[in-house]
Amino acid sequence: MGDGRPNRVRAAATRGAEMGRTAASRGAEIGRNMRNIDVPWARCAPARAVRETILQFVLAPLMDLYTRPRVYGRDVFNRLPHPVILVANHSSHLDTPTILRALPLKWRQRTAVAAAADYFYKKRAVASAVALIFNTVPLMRQGGGVNNGATEHVDRLIDQRWNLLMFPEGTRSRSGRLGKMRSGAAAIAQAHGIPIVPIYVKGTHEAMPPGRNWPSRRHLIARRHRVEVHFGEPIWPGRDEHRHEVMNRVRTFLEDEAVDGARPTVSRRRERAVSPVV
């Protein structure tokens, strides 16, 4: 009598194939759902003009009442073509407008922001508002697979040379410290053969931590919060590099900036790299 190993191998292979089909089916379903709740008109030329007007003449003056923004390393965009994946730490609702404002104009106008579908897209009115103001695109926080159709709507945008801003922690840090980072950004960048530009944002957690709907300031003559945006050198995923290793490189940049930013003085290199916010 045989030991039954061939049957077990066939059974395991069958289960693996079924799991693969289930994952593909699930990914396709997620992809359809994301396409259905996406707000593509927010990326048309009139919407881009309205968005820039809101950012420059509504959000920027309000933010300047509470924050003193500084931008470092923006010259990296002089050496890069579109598109890229922008990856940042996340500890405040101020992060998105702060980063968008720090980007050069031609980059800002071609950047979509990945937003949690289960948070911002539950109501169509809210989804339309955030899409218009920040050019958001829905993504599932728990993933769903990059290679099985779950990110097809994002892949299409990248193919159209849109940049994508992602917060791989998936949610705002309650403590302000860097949390666990998901690897979806690395998978997308690797699939398209494009770089990741890491971004370290400092000061937004102090200005408006989770739980607050407005920046904190005791009175009008109080000192504003210093907010900094540090753009790092592009990180190119290797063809065979595991996506977790790619994200480890991103994390190293963010952690190094956090440690360096905690020091009382700023290096001369960074002082020279500072850019005005426009």
What local confidence, expressed as pLDDT, does residue 213 receive?
Answer: 84
- State the amino acid at position 113 in one-letter form: V
- State the amino acid at position 232 in one-letter form: G
> Please, which contacts does 218-221 make with residues 24 or more away whose CB atoms are closer than 8 Å?
220/65
What local confidence, expressed as pLDDT, does residue 141 receive?
Answer: 75
Are the C-beta atoms of residues 46 and 168 closer than 8 Å to each other? Answer: no
What local confidence, expressed as pLDDT, does residue 25 receive?
Answer: 65
DSSP annotation string for 115-168: EEHHHHSSSHHHHHHHHHHH-EEEE-TT---TTTTTTHHHHHHHHTT-EEEE-T
Binned average pLDDT, 10 residues per bin, the chain of 278 residues: 55 50 64 86 97 96 95 96 96 96 97 93 94 95 63 93 96 92 95 97 94 75 88 95 96 94 51 55
- What are the E-state strand segments in 170-265? 196-202, 225-231
On whether the pTM is more than 0.95, the answer is no
Separation between Cα atoms, residue 101 and residue 227, nearest integer Å? 12
What local confidence, expressed as pLDDT, does residue 271 receive?
Answer: 45
Which residues, in sequence order, are CB contacts of 209 under 8 Å at separation 6+?
Answer: 91, 92, 174, 176
What local confidence, expressed as pLDDT, does residue 29 receive?
Answer: 78
- Give the tokens for residue 88: 């940042």
Closest CA to 165 of 118, 111, 101: 111
